[in-house]
Amino acid sequence: MEVCIGTNILSGRQYDAIESSLVDRCRRRDMEAFGKLVDAYQNRVFGFVRRMINNPEEAADVTQDVFVRAFQSFDRFDGRSSLRTWLFRIAYNLCIDRVRRSDRRVTEVALVEPGEEGETMEVADMRWQPEQIALDDELMGVVEEGILSMSEKLRSVLLLHDKEEMAYEEIANLLDVPIGTVKSRLFLARAHLQNVLKTYLEARA
């Protein structure tokens, strides 16, 4: 993973080397250090939030709230998870809260497929990579609609794994669920998106 800080692009390893120092400075309410962390993560956090709640203005508000909450809570960040995982956990929780306050139904998913808690499940690597699907604006719209038509639980796992390139373990930590549940949700999310695309392409044939 590459992270941009200001005009510098750092590899994940390089960024890890300075992240601890930046977090320590943020704990001391160092606004310069906090600004660097915002620069590094705000676009990725906004992209995730934007696809979770499907409203640009709300997404901007939630993204701002993510960093406000983070700045207020750095003294409780213990470093057991990565800073990225911690920020995306805040973003996920705020998205779910916003959905509930807006009276949009949060769909509960009954995970009865193979790969439930305690089981191992292999997930076919059919990543959501719109740039490799097509450059057709209409098809891209179908992909976005397919993502939005999923439950929040499936959508969040798909975005975190296929878009943010998080490992199963990191997502499990972020969502506080077993790895088997992460794999089940990813399997169901990809199957849902494939079905949406198949239906659309068959209708055009």
Instruction: Count Cα atoms within 13 angstroms, Cβ side, for 189.
Output: 29
Distance CA 152, CA 160 (A): 12
Q: Where are the beta strands (DSSP E) in 40-171?
A: none
CB-based contacts of 108, cutoff 8 Å, min separation 6: 151, 153
pLDDT in tens, 162-203: 989 999 999 999 999 999 999 999 999 999 998 988 888 888
**Amino acid occupying residue 32:** E
Bridge partners of 9, per DSSP, are: 4
User: Roughly what angle, to the nearest 10 degrees, separates helices 56-73 and 31-53?
Assistant: 140
Residue 111's pLDDT is 37
pLDDT in tens, 8-51: 444 455 656 678 888 888 888 899 989 988 998 999 999 999 99
pLDDT at 142 over 70: yes
CB-based contacts of 11, cutoff 8 Å, min separation 6: 1, 2, 3
> How large is the average pLDDT for residues 134-146?
76
135 or 78: which carries more pLDDT confidence? Answer: 78
DSSP 116: -
78 or 161: which carries more pLDDT confidence? Answer: 161
Closest CA to 84 of 44, 120, 54, 55: 44
| Domain annotation for the chain: domains and CATH numbers | 2-101 (1.10.1740.10), 130-204 (1.10.10.10)
Distance CA 66, CA 94 (A): 7
pLDDT at 67 over 80: yes
59 or 141: which carries more pLDDT confidence? Answer: 59
Residue 23's pLDDT is 86
Closest CA to 192 of 156, 144, 147: 147
pTM (predicted TM-score): 0.74
Distance CA 86, CA 79 (A): 9
Distance CA 132, CA 109 (A): 29
